[in-house]
């Protein structure tokens, strides 16, 4: 709470809202407790211009060199950081928590997902350093009816593969010419452009909005990012939605050989960080 400054009242309002619902209260505490680590970069005209230029990538993943020459050296890392804990609203958090719980309880595979895993695989309102956006209701309204119309079973991996098929069109056009933070859910739902991290982000948004437990992993050395699905067996199954149908026992993550793998978590990994400090 001390990091929230004048926004403390918004966080307190969330805790008060769930005072009589112990599980949602714990979920709210999880988000708030780990919130100081999360931020996004202030958006501006230059970043908006590059996002627009991305949409010129053609079906062969080609982009006119004039755009690369103009924007290829752009860097966002010196832009002002806006910390979630100082601007997030009670309304935003409450909506995200309620919708996440709704999908968790709606899906038959949800009964195999522990509360601890729910907090990491379904609950988070962001995937990286994208702007705070009201994405979950939009994605759920878009993709939940589509999944419901083609699948009523209880196999979470089969559901994920069907979502993959839904997302085949329009084609995601690959472009690595620019350095940008996470593009954000509202951009990606209408603009299928970006790098493999952006592929993974889109799939994460869709899955979380419809109750499929999903997060991301990356191999920093090769700059490759992919998804993992939490199976009903408790196993994490690598998933690369833009390439193939995934099955249990599958360990492929694209055309990459990975040494060390980094998992993107919402919670602060204090014990893990200490290994590199001590």
The domain tally of the chain equals 1
Q: What is the DSSP string of 218-239?
A: EEGGGTEEEEEEE-TTS-EEEE
DSSP state of 2: G
Among 42, 16, 61, 30, CA closest to 172: 61
Digitized pLDDT (tens) for each residue of the chain, 278 residues in all: 777 889 999 999 999 999 999 999 999 999 999 999 999 999 889 999 989 988 888 776 778 888 888 888 888 988 999 999 999 999 999 999 999 999 999 999 999 999 999 999 999 999 999 999 999 999 999 999 999 999 999 999 999 999 999 998 888 888 888 889 999 999 999 999 899 999 999 999 999 999 999 999 988 665 788 999 999 999 999 888 766 666 676 665 555 555 677 889 999 876 644 443 34
Domain of residue 27 covers: 2-277
The pLDDT value recorded for residue 102 is 98
Torsion, Cα 205 211 212 217, to 10 degrees, reads 40
What are 119's two structure tokens? 């907090």
What's the confidence (pLDDT) of residue 273? 42
The confidence score (pLDDT) of residue 70 equals: 86
Label the pairing between strands 224-230 and 214-219: antiparallel
Q: List all residues 6 or more positions away from 130 whose beta carbon is below 8 Å from its beta carbon.
A: 40, 181, 182, 183, 184, 185, 201
Sequence-distant (≥ 6) Cβ neighbours of residue 166 within 8 angstroms: 143, 146, 147
* Environment class of 154 (CB within 10 Å of its CB; exposed 0-12, middle 13-18, buried 19+): middle
3-state secondary structure of 214: strand
Contact 191, 199 (CB under 8 A): no
Q: Where are the alpha helices (DSSP H) in the chain?
A: 8-17, 22-34, 45-54, 65-71, 84-87, 90-106, 115-121, 136-150, 156-166, 185-188, 196-209, 270-277
Q: What residues form DSSP beta bridges with 39? A: 83
Q: Which residue has the tokens 């910390």?
A: 83
Biggest distance spanned by C-alpha atoms of the chain: 58
pTM for the whole thing? 0.91
Residue 175 structure tokens: 């472009």
DSSP code per residue over 72-117: TT---TTSPEEEHHHH--HHHHHHHHHHHHHHHHHSGGGGGS-HHH
Mode of pairing for the β-strands spanning 224-230 and 236-239: antiparallel
| Pick from 138, 267, 124: nearest CA to 208 | 124
Distances (CA, A) of 181 to 81, 197, 207, 237: 11, 10, 21, 26
* Separation CA 56–CA 63 (nearest Å): 6
């Amino acid at each position: 709470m001390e990091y929230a400054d004048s926004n403390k009242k918004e966080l307190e309002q969330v805790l008060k809202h769930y005072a009589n619902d112990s599980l949602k209260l714990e979920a709210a505490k999880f988000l708030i407790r780990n919130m100081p680590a999360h931020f996004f970069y202030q958006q501006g005209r230059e970043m908006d211009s590059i996002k627009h230029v991305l949409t010129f990538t053609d079906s062969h993943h080609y982009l006119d060199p004039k755009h690369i020459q103009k924007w290829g050296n752009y860097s966002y890392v010196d832009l002002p950081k806006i910390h979630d804990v100082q601007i997030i609203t009670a309304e935003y958090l409450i909506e995200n928590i309620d919708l996440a719980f709704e999908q968790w309880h709606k899906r038959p595979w949800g009964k195999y997902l522990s509360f601890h895993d729910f907090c990491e695989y379904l609950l988070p309102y962001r995937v990286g350093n994208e702007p705070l956006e009201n994405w979950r209701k939009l994605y759920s309204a878009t993709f939940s009816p589509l999944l419901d119309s083609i699948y009523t079973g209880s196999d979470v991996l089969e559901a994920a593969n069907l979502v993959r098929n839904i997302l085949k069109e329009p084609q995601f056009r690959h472009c690595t010419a620019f350095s940008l933070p996470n593009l954000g859910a509202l951009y990606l739902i209408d603009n299928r452009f970006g790098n493999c991290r952006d592929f993974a982000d889109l799939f994460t948004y869709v899955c979380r909005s419809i109750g499929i437990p999903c997060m991301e992993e990356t191999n920093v050395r090769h700059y490759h990012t992919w998804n993992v699905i939490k199976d009903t067996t408790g196993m994490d199954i690598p998933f690369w939605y833009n390439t193939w149908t995934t099955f249990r026992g599958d360990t492929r993550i694209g055309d990459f050989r990975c040494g060390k793998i980094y998992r993107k978590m919402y919670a602060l990994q204090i014990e893990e960080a200490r290994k590199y400090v001590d």
